[in-house]
Amino acid sequence: MKCPAVTAAVVLVVCHMSRMSMLQLIGELQTGSLTSRRLTETCLDRISKLNPELNAFVFVDADAALRQADEIDARRAAGGPVGQLAGLPVAVKDNICVRGVPTTCGSRMLEHFRPPYSAHVVERLQAEDGVLLGKLNQDEFAMGSSTETSIFGPTRNPWNPERTAGGSSGGAAVAVAAGMVPLALGSDTGGSIRQPAGFCGVTGLKPTYGRVSRYGLVAYASSLDQIGPMAQDVAGCALALQCFGGHDNRDSTSLQQPLQDWSGQLTAGRQSLRIGIAEEYFAEGLDPEIDAAVRTALRVLEDAGATLVPVSLPHSRYAVAAYYLIACSEASSNLARYDGIHYGYRSETYEDLTDLYCESRSQGLGAEVRRRIMLGTYALSAGYYDAYYLKALRVRRRIQQDFETAFQNVDVIAGPVAPTAAFRLGEKLNDPLSMYLSDIYTISTNLAGLPGISVPCGLTSERLPIGLQFQAAPLAEANLLQAAHHYQTLTDWHQQTPPGT
């Protein structure tokens, strides 16, 4: 891309923006070496250049973003206070409400929905002077692992456009990986931040359940959903969590826990780091290249002073089955409101009330969403509730207990993010079980309400990113971020960028 005709210092910053971390960009904004308008214009230029192929953004509000940027620049020039994000461009997944901005969840059902309010996280980002660029593509209603089921079409991986970006927050991962925006927010119900982050070579954080308000997040599975950030590195995710985490009385599940200075704690605890290694995360089905890269990453940490401790998570083998019963049951309940009368798409052709329901939902919802609703409705139905849903809840508790036991002896548990690198577009669309197994290593984090993070740890022989996952005990984000940041100080995988971007 051509650089604007500005000072040499600004040229250097702007031309290399896609390779700069979030904190580096904020530093340039704070010192005045870079204006928010210039950085926002650069992001908009990159979106214009790259998005037609990658399809990460589904809505861009350039005029509103530039107005925000100009207001922040003017306030800084006048000596006024500026928030922690200092005019940094941000974008959010399309299931996070922004007042007056289309929020479709990638579904025909909400194709024309413009919420009259903003999500808590959006309010917090804007209060900290983040410049909102737009909305990011996703699997329909966040139900998927490849960002292929959106009404806007699939998002493509910048490392290889014939490969999936992962899902359901694929648009967010691609936007950060391709340098279109330095910070993006996604949601994670069973791995939907960490898996696409792993596939696209960026850092993705899923906080403890309740650490971040879900107010304004369109619900999929309410006991599992959590909003989190994606950035180039752990330091960026830590700062983002400080900006939008914390209690919100509009969300009854929001925890009344004080925010911590996670950024200031990143370098603590390195010398005494105890990392749990679960044999269940290295079982049959794990690609040999993924296995080798993750084990190499663990040796790097061990050589730097960490202690590797064997742990056991025996009930993790049941995580996928338990997750899809619980998540689909909650989806069946949450999506019942989209009936063609109260909310969402309404069929123009119907014979009676029952037909209106059937036609509106069959036309407005895609195949995967309908599949999960039907599975959940079946699991909750009379005669099957105890055999399926209740049993899944009991398994969930066993999984939680496994983690509680393990975290008595370790600070974090490490393993792969996914069993393979990014697969080809269309490869698993007609094989739901194979698609569901893409999240086999991330699902248990949500079932147990834990924080988890994905960081890049290598490339396959086809030069596709490999992700390393850390999990920590509930509310132990400090341990999680310290371990992941320590790894990133020892390696430069997070600084690798896709070809052509």
Residues labelled catalytic: 93, 168, 192
Measured between its terminal Cα atoms, the distance across the chain in Å is 10
The span from the CA of 495 to the CA of 501, in Å, is: 13
CA 459 to chain centre: 20
Beta strand pairing call for 183-187 and 227-231:
antiparallel
Q: How far is residue 124's CA from residue 254's CA, in Å, rounded to a whole number?
A: 15
Q: Show the tokens assigned to 239.
A: 């700062």
The CA distance from 135 to 184, in Å, is 9
- What would the DSSP string read from start to end of 265-301? TTTTT-TT-EEEEEGGGGSTT--HHHHHHHHHHHHHH
From residue 263, give the alpha-carbon distance in Å to each of 233, 238, 259, 391, 467. 12, 6, 11, 40, 22
Beta pairing, strands 307-311 & 274-278 = parallel
Q: Which two tokens stand for residue 412?
A: 């974090």
Nearest alpha-carbon partner for 499 in 201, 166, 192 = 201
